[in-house]
Amino acid sequence: MANAAAPARTMWSKKFSYDLWMESVGLPIHKGFYIEDIRTLELAWWEERQCNAAFIQLMGQEGVSAARVTEIAPGKTLPPVKFALDEIVYVAQGRGLATIWAGKDRPKKNFEWQAHSMFLIPHGYTHQLSNMQGDKPVRLLHYSYLPLALSALPEPDFYFGNPYELKADSAAEGDFYSEAKEIQAQERDEFLSLNSFWYGNFFPDMRAWDRLEANKRRGAGGKTVYIQFPHSELSAHMSVFAAQTYKKAHRHGPGRVIVIPAGEGYSIMWEEGKEKIVCPWHECSLLVPPNKWFHQHFNAGGTPARYLAFHPPMQFHGHAEKIEDRAKDQFEYPDEDPWIRKKFEEEMGKRGLKSLIPAEAYTDRDFEWSKGMGKK
């Protein structure tokens, strides 16, 4: 028998159990295609967590991934929270201390973080976050797969404060928050041409991270780091590309949340055959490409730009990362809409700059950036 207190669910509903839970909390829910700056996003008081916060549920998240912003007041420590799922935390501003533990008799682990740090809070652990600054608030971006979990088991209390205790050999034992390690890929990625990834749960400064590999397929002479979190299916990657250049358009599945650690520019997103949407960005902007929408990233500034993408589960990655699907899921520069190049050159002109995309890139599909950068 249906619960009389809850609305009946309808076939093919686009309103998920996660949406109903967000609404029940009473915080702002920010929608649309992008967030201009998560450091200035409108928040509201969350009594249970003793902080200001807001949910982000952009079109491209589509019931797959959760994102929210938490603000910690100067000098304050938030109440402990136990969460049943893995969660990535990205520090938009401020510095502080994290304490995590599992069970009453297990040791607590402490580590400090700063602006642009990224770390994993492992599933089933209690964590407590503190602002070490006495004069400025902290802002944190949280990412998890809670919408998928609630679709499978729509009981929020199961995920928060669940008394289940993890075994002693689980994720946070030993050197859990030690330096990340480079791991050679067992299966080389033919499309992205990457040989390794970084394995860890604490990255001190993604704005300064310089252990990168060339990512030849995406253009603009870009470099990338792929990140896997221990004992978790959560993963991420960050791409860095040169000033006054732009990446090739491509598409993939939903749920990929992208935050900007550094740079100034814009992204263009569009559903095949439909109107293009321009999303301007700078440090701490956020965007989510919708499912199977083409999207393209443009560095309109005079310094390198970087974007950090939190991945959905592998089931939602789509086909854009497979070399056999390159023709249908990625536009090469010679094949792109001429408007793309024209707009970029206009944006460069507004800033007193010029595009550094070599002319040969627009005629040669096999153009090698390492040989052609700087030519125009």
Give CA–CA dist 207/90, Å, rounded: 11
Q: In a 3-state reduction of DSSP, which class is residue 345?
A: helix
3-state DSSP assignment of residue 376? coil
Dist. CA 117–CA 126, nearest whole Å: 20
CA distance linking residue 84 with residue 155, whole number of Å? 12
- Can you give the pTM of this predicted structure? 0.92
Q: What's the helix, strand, coil split of the chain in %, to 5?
A: 15, 35, 50
CA distance 309 to 261: 10
- Domains of the chain with CATH codes: 17-159 (2.60.120.10), 181-364 (2.60.120.10)
What kind and span of H or E run contains 185? Answer: strand 181-189
Other beta carbons less than 10 A from residue 275's beta carbon: 6
Q: How far apart are CA 252 and CA 291, in angstroms?
A: 6
Closest CA to 132 of 112, 116, 110: 112
Cβ-contact 361, 367 below 8 angstroms = yes
Instruction: Convert the pLDDT of each residue in 279-299 to its tens digit.
Output: 999 999 999 999 999 999 999
What's the N-to-C CA distance of the chain in angstroms? 69
- Amino acid letter for position 10: T
Spatial contact of 100 and 109, defined as CB atoms under 8 Å apart? yes
The single residue listed with the structure tokens 């509201």 is 44
Nearest to 202 by CA among 181, 177, 236: 177
**Beta strands 51-56; 29-30: pairing state:** parallel
Q: Do the beta carbons of residue 298 and residue 265 sit within 8 Å? A: yes
- In angstroms, the Cα distances linking 317 to 101, 237, 313, 348 are 32, 13, 7, 33
Residues 6 or more apart from 104 whose CB is under 8 A from it? Answer: none
Max Cα–Cα distance, the chain, nearest Å: 70
The first and second tokens of residue 185, run together, are 């890929």
Q: Are 215 and 248 in contact (CB under 8 A)?
A: no
Tens of each residue's pLDDT in the chain, 376 residues: 344 456 677 776 778 999 999 999 999 999 999 999 999 999 999 999 999 999 999 999 989 999 999 999 999 999 999 999 999 999 999 999 999 998 777 889 999 999 999 999 999 999 999 999 999 999 999 999 999 999 999 999 999 989 998 876 555 455 667 778 888 876 655 445 567 889 999 999 999 999 998 887 778 778 999 999 998 999 999 999 999 999 999 999 999 999 999 999 999 999 999 999 999 999 999 999 999 999 999 999 999 999 999 999 988 876 555 555 566 888 999 999 999 999 999 999 999 999 999 999 999 988 877 654 444 3
Side chain identity at 258, as an amino acid letter?
A: I
